[in-house]
């Protein structure tokens, strides 16, 4: 949103010819936002003032719906707009009464806003707009951010300052950044936000907080952003009763939150009714239940479906939805944590009401640097599954490490589950094309805080940007998105752009290599989740590093094959067999699924990566590859000193230095620890 003047003279002249005035035909709040955005962008981009007038001339940029603009209504394609749904739009060159114009047309004003941002992106990224003919509509319906923001202004796993929501000031005092937040999200098509942490404080549902939430909802509404809340399942329980019972309480007057008790169901119905009085377009609830100490229906021997259905019933009259999280891992379900969510949720397929999503993280454990896909995807054909990915870099160096997440999310989206044979990708599941879900959704655990640069690390903004772009269109490539972001945020110089893109593109793989190569996972410091702690072997079993890496005198890795925990059986054939066999299991998941001897010859594997090394040497190689990449990134960035904004330069440079040190610490700590078992020298390149 920097809107810098186009430097290329020829292109600038062309743009000036093609855009010489602007006509926005509606007068809703959204249309006013469109006008404001165009007033602040086009004159700057084109380096000249532009008239905003209704009259259509050659070079008018006309923006309207068939309702607000008679010219658009008369156009042949106006009927097709209906097929584009609420958010879709056209950007088209056309002639109106002999005048050559560009139009942005949509069925709803929000489609116009999305189309406007698309058009601005084209100009900012120096695309041709002659004979333009773009039709766009999102592939996924609910494109939400999940904030893990607490009411005391801390952010769980947040590395960009405090919460953006100033609860003490709301609803009276309005931070201007709420508008910028809404603008930024609308510019990438995000259309909903869950304001509070899934480890939900029940107070969020008290009237005093609902008034604050309503204020934010009012601000976000014209930007097409609906507000959702995380709900605590114990909300109906009275605080006094809970105190007496020595458990966490709620805000109600009951002694139970059992979903089969009529008074509990009534409590939720009344609460929901109250919420809609404050927020008429409230989106619904996100719920973390019976997970990591949060209350849930299982406390009363009821199922996740029973709990979710109770809330869904209350929300249904208002078109609200429930997003019920599948992030559960109670130890009594299975000794292997990776199998638990599948085992709990698959039997419930078909038991959820239609306005419920089951929301699952991308992998079966927890946002590790790399995991195979959560096997639940594809295994619940009757239940719309919502994908949850994490923008905040909980396990990827917080806001200290430069890690571009587009390649990661693309790997997941393209992961073929084989649920209905080949091409049953994760993307096809969550966009509903495979199972014909009636609702589709994606959630991104956000990396936004109140830091001046929003995300802590300047490059973390690219992940926010990417999330929105992929939620709208998961077929975009990681390179394309990087190009767009770099051009709009940093530079249009081709060589500089290439260097920055190459830094970004390999940064995720590098991070995996210096943290958890070859399928290792969950060997970070307990609680803090930043540095390495492979020796951690105390406390809750499935939080110990030793539980995951299983290093011993023989080898390394978790045997999840059919001779071990048999987690491989949760995948569809032929994946099941591919993962099950050491020889065919992709190298990137090797230690995820297998316990491999230290002297195992990597060349015995049919599938991959012709390496003549033994496992131990390969492990050393990977760790060193990871740190080498960070050294190179640091050098690449240094070479750009005179080519990028000085403030951004120093900020990134300082963080790269930290990343360099951290990467070496990860490598050395892990290799020295594993060496105690492998009893072999650390092979340096
Ligand atoms: C919000 C992990 C994180 C927790 C997080 C949890 C979840 O365990 O470390 O901070 O809690 O996931 O997704 O519910």
pLDDT in tens, 497-550: 999 999 999 999 999 999 999 999 999 999 999 999 999 999 999 999 999 999
Number of the ligand 1 atom closest to the C-alpha atom of 288: 14
Reply yes or no: is the peptide bond before residue 574 cis, omega within 30 of 0.
Answer: yes
Does the active-site annotation cover 27?
Answer: no
Taking the model in full, what pTM does it have? 0.98
Task: Give me the mean pLDDT over the 352-371 stretch.
Answer: 98
What spacing in Å lies between the alpha carbon of 367 and ligand 1's midpoint? 9
Measuring from atom 8 of ligand 1, which residue has the nearest CA?
366
Secondary structure of residue 533 in the 3-state scheme: coil
Express as a percent the part of the chain with pLDDT over 70: 99
Q: What is the pLDDT of residue 685?
A: 85
Number of the ligand 1 atom closest to the C-alpha atom of 388: 13
Q: Which of 228, 231, 229, 227 is nearest to 202 (CA)?
A: 231
Number of the ligand 1 atom closest to the C-alpha atom of 148: 1
Name the token pair of 91: 């950007």
Does the active-site annotation cover 53?
Answer: no
Give yes or no for residue 474 having a pLDDT over 80.
yes
Quote the strand ranges of 55-141, DSSP E. Answer: 60-64, 89-96, 99-106, 133-136
- Number of other residues whose CB lies within 10 A of the CB of residue 105: 30
The sign one gets for the Cα dihedral 633, 635, 641, 646 is positive
C-alpha 559: how far from its chain's center?
30
What spacing in Å lies between the alpha carbon of 394 and ligand 1's midpoint? 9
Secondary structure of residue 345 in the 3-state scheme: helix
Q: What is the pLDDT of residue 246?
A: 74
Number of the ligand 1 atom closest to the C-alpha atom of 445: 13
- Number of other residues whose CB lies within 10 A of the CB of residue 242: 17
Task: Give me the mean pLDDT over the 402-418 stretch.
Answer: 98
- Out of 147, 148, 230, 340, mutate this one to test ligand 1's pocket (max ligand atoms within 8 Å of CB): namely 148
Q: What is the pLDDT of residue 245?
A: 79
Find tokens 């001339």 and name the residue: 57
State the Cα–Cα distance between residues 91 and 80, nearest whole angstrom.
13
Give yes or no for residue 609 having a pLDDT over 80.
no
Active-site option among 258, 394, 435, 617: 394
What spacing in Å lies between the alpha carbon of 527 and ligand 1's midpoint? 10
Q: What phi, psi does 323 have (nearest 5°)?
A: -115, 105
Task: Give me the mean pLDDT over the 385-414 stretch.
Answer: 98
Ligand 1 pocket at CB < 6 A: 148, 156-157, 197-199, 288, 292, 327, 366
Q: What is the CA radius of gyration of the chain?
A: 26
Q: What is the pLDDT of residue 79?
A: 77
What spacing in Å lies between the alpha carbon of 418 and ligand 1's midpoint? 29
Q: What is the pLDDT of residue 662?
A: 98
Give yes or no for residue 638 having a pLDDT over 80.
yes
Q: Which of left, alpha, beta for 190 (phi over 0: left; psi -120 to 50: alpha)?
A: beta
pLDDT tier at 444, thresholds 50, 70, 90: very high
Active-site option among 149, 344, 366, 388: 366
Q: What residues contact 423, with CB distance under 8 A and at least 6 apart?
A: 416
DSSP assignment, residue 569? G
Task: Give me the mean pLDDT over the 79-87 stretch.
Answer: 89
Task: Give me the mean pLDDT over the 303-309 stretch.
Answer: 98
Q: What is the pLDDT of residue 604?
A: 86
What spacing in Å lies between the alpha carbon of 390 and ligand 1's midpoint? 10
- Number of other residues whose CB lies within 10 A of the CB of residue 645: 14
pLDDT tier at 607, thresholds 50, 70, 90: low
What spacing in Å lies between the alpha carbon of 292 and ligand 1's midpoint? 8
pLDDT tier at 613, thresholds 50, 70, 90: very high
Does the active-site annotation cover 130?
Answer: no
- Cβ 35 vs Cβ 68: under 8 Å: no
Average pLDDT, the chain: 96
Quote the strand ranges of 464-617, DSSP E. Answer: 555-556, 596-597
Give yes or no for residue 606 having a pLDDT over 80.
no
Q: What is the pLDDT of residue 78?
A: 75
State the Cα–Cα distance between residues 669 and 667, nearest whole angstrom.
6
Concatenate the DSSP letters of all residues of 605-642 into one string. -SSS----SBHHHHHHHHHHHHHHHHHHHHHHHHTTTT
Active-site option among 53, 180, 292, 552: 292
Give yes or no for residue 608 having a pLDDT over 70.
no
Lowest-confidence range among 66-80, 207-221, 268-282?
A: 66-80
- Out of 148, 156, 230, 292, mutate this one to test ligand 1's pocket (max ligand atoms within 8 Å of CB): namely 292
Measuring from atom 12 of ligand 1, which residue has the nearest CA?
366
Name the token pair of 109: 């004003």
Higher per-residue pLDDT: 78 or 136: 136
Helices (H), 47-87: 70-74
What spacing in Å lies between the alpha carbon of 219 and ligand 1's midpoint? 29
Q: Which of 355, 344, 417, 419 is nearest to 381 (CA)?
A: 419
């Amino acid at each position: 949103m920097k809107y810098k003047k186009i430097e290329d003279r020829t292109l600038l002249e062309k743009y000036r010819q093609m855009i010489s005035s602007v006509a926005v035909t509606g007068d809703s709040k959204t249309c006013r936002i469109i006008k404001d955005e165009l007033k602040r962008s086009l004159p700057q981009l084109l380096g000249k003032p532009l008239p905003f007038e209704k009259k259509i001339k050659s070079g008018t940029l006309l923006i309207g719906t068939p309702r607000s603009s008679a010219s658009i209504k008369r156009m042949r394609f106006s009927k097709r707009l209906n097929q584009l749904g609420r958010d879709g739009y056209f950007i088209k060159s056309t002639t109106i009464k002999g005048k050559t114009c560009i139009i942005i047309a949509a069925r709803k004003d929000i489609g116009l806003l999305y189309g406007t941002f698309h058009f601005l992106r084209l100009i900012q990224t120096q695309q041709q707009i002659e004979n333009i003919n773009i039709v766009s509509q999102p592939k996924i319906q609910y494109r939400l951010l999940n904030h893990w923001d607490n009411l005391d202004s801390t952010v769980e796993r947040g590395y960009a300052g405090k919460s953006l929501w100033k609860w003490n000031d709301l609803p009276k005092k309005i931070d201007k950044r709420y508008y910028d937040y809404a603008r930024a999200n609308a510019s990438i098509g995000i259309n909903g936000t869950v304001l509070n942490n899934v480890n939900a404080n029940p107070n969020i549902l008290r009237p005093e907080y609902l008034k604050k939430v309503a204020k934010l909802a009012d601000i976000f509404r014209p930007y097409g952003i609906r507000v959702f809340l995380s709900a605590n399942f114990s909300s109906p329980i009275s605080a006094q009763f809970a105190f007496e019972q020595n458990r966490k309480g709620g805000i109600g007057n009951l002694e139970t939150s059992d979903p089969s008790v009529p008074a509990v169901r009534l409590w939720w119905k009344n609460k929901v009714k109250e919420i809609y009085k404050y927020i008429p377009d409230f989106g619904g609830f996100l719920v973390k239940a019976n997970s990591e100490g949060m209350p849930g229906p299982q406390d009363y021997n009821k199922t996740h479906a029973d709990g979710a259905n109770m809330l869904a019933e209350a929300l249904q009259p208002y078109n609200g939805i429930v997003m019920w999280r599948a992030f559960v891992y109670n130890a009594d379900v299975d000794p292997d944590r990776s199998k638990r969510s599948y085992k709990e949720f698959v039997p419930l397929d078909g038991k959820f009401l239609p306005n419920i999503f089951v929301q699952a993280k991308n992998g079966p454990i927890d946002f590790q640097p790399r995991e195979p896909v959560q096997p639940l995807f594809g295994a619940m054909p009757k239940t719309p599954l919502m994908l949850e990915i994490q923008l905040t870099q909980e396990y990827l160096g917080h806001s200290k490490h430069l890690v571009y997440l587009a390649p990661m999310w693309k790997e997941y989206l393209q992961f073929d589950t084989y649920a209905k044979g080949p091409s049953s990708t994760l993307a096809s599941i969550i966009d509903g094309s495979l199972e014909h879900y009636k609702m589709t959704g994606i959630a991104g655990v956000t990396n936004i805080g109140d830091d001046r640069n929003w995300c802590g690390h300047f490059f973390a903004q690219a992940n926010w940007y990417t999330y929105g772009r992929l939620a709208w269109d998961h077929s975009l490539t990681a390179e394309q998105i990087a190009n767009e972001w770099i051009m709009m945020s940093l530079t249009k110089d081709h060589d500089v752009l290439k260097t920055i893109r190459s830094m970004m593109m390999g940064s995720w793989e590098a991070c995996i290599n210096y943290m958890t190569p070859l399928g290792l996972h969950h060997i970070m410091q307990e609680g803090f989740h930043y540095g390495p702690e492979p020796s951690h072997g105390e406390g809750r079993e499935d939080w110990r590093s030793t539980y995951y890496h299983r290093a011993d005198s023989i080898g390394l890795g978790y045997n999840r094959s059919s001779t071990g925990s048999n987690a491989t059986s949760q995948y569809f054939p032929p994946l099941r067999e591919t993962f099950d066999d050491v020889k065919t299991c992709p190298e990137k998941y090797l230690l995820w699924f297998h316990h491999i001897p230290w002297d195992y010859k990597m060349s015995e594997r049919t599938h991959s990566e012709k390496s003549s090394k033994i496992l131990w040497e390969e492990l050393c190689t990977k760790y060193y590859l990871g740190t080498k990449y960070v050294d190179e990134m640091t050098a690449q960035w240094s070479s750009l000193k005179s080519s990028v904004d000085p403030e951004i330069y120093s900020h990134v440079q300082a963080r790269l230095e930290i990343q360099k040190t951290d990467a070496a610490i990860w490598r050395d700590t892990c290799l020295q620890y594993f060496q105690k078992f492998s009893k072999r020298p650390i092979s340096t390149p």
